[in-house]
């Protein structure tokens, strides 16, 4: 198989990480993927540096993005297949495109979409989950911080802000390479088996034709 980058893109709360883990679980015995998670990097650097306000948080996020592209290039240098999930937008597209072109990677974008009201409810539930990293929902943070009642966090997304992000940042239009779009408004109706079959066929076709 030629070198492949799978991007799990789309709106927040659509289950990108879940699908990433599913792809690795189902296809990992055939195709080995390096998992590159921007959220993991942001959480890691928030724990290291912390931040006292949203401006400092933005600087931490810039550090995380620089490391993200550095790791992606390192993995491309050695020819790894890569899978990465994030609500990608036009901000990230030029940098990823440049790396893809430089290292001659085939790209598959799986773009997940859903009803925005459904997604907002998922977002709220996820933010209030005690296992979610606290840095996502507060305006200042240092490692070890704790909020007993997460509904009191001072940077929870409002409905208006959530809708604004989803409709203005291009999450639902991001695309690099071949596109597979899946509506996940109702998880019970998503045919993940068919999607995995389609992706497997695409990977085999890519390998066979040396694209």
The dihedrals phi and psi of 104, each to the nearest 5 degrees, come to 55, 55
CA atoms within 13 A on the CB side of 124: 13
Q: pLDDT tens, 69-106?
A: 999 999 999 999 999 999 999 999 999 999 999 999 99
d(CA 31, CA 46): 32
Q: How confident is the model at residue 211 (pLDDT cuts 50, 70, 90)?
A: very low
For residue 2, what are the CA distances in angstroms to 101, 110, 173, 199? 14, 18, 26, 14
Q: Which of 192, 156, 188, 172 is nearest to 115 (CA)?
A: 172
- Which domains are present in the chain? 4-115+171-209 (3.40.50.300)
Q: pLDDT tens, 19-75?
A: 999 999 888 778 889 999 999 999 999 999 999 999 999 999 999 999 999 999 999
CA 89 to chain centroid: 11
Q: pTM for this structure?
A: 0.93
């Amino acid at each position: 198989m030629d070198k492949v980058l799978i991007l799990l893109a789309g709106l927040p709360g659509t289950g990108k990480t879940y699908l990433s883990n599913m792809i690795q679980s189902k296809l990992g015995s055939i195709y080995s993927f390096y998992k590159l998670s921007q959220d993991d990097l942001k959480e890691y650097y928030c724990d290291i540096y912390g931040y006292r306000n949203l401006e400092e948080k933005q600087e931490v996020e810039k550090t995380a993005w620089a490391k993200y592209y550095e790791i992606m290039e390192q993995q491309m240098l050695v020819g790894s297949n890569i899978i990465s999930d994030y609500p990608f937008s036009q901000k990230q597209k030029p940098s990823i495109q440049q790396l893809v072109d430089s290292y001659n990677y085939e790209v598959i974008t799986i773009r997940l979409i859903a009803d925005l009201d459904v997604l907002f409810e998922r977002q709220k539930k996820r933010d209030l989950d005690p296992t979610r990293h606290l840095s996502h929902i507060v305006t200042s943070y240092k490692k070890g911080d704790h909020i007993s009642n997460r509904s009191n966090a001072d940077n929870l997304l409002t409905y208006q802000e959530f809708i604004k992000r989803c409709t203005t940042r291009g999450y639902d239009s991001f695309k690099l390479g071949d596109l597979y779009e899946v509506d996940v408004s109702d998880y019970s109706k998503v045919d993940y088996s068919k999607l995995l079959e389609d992706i497997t066929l695409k990977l085999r076709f890519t390998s066979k034709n040396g694209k």
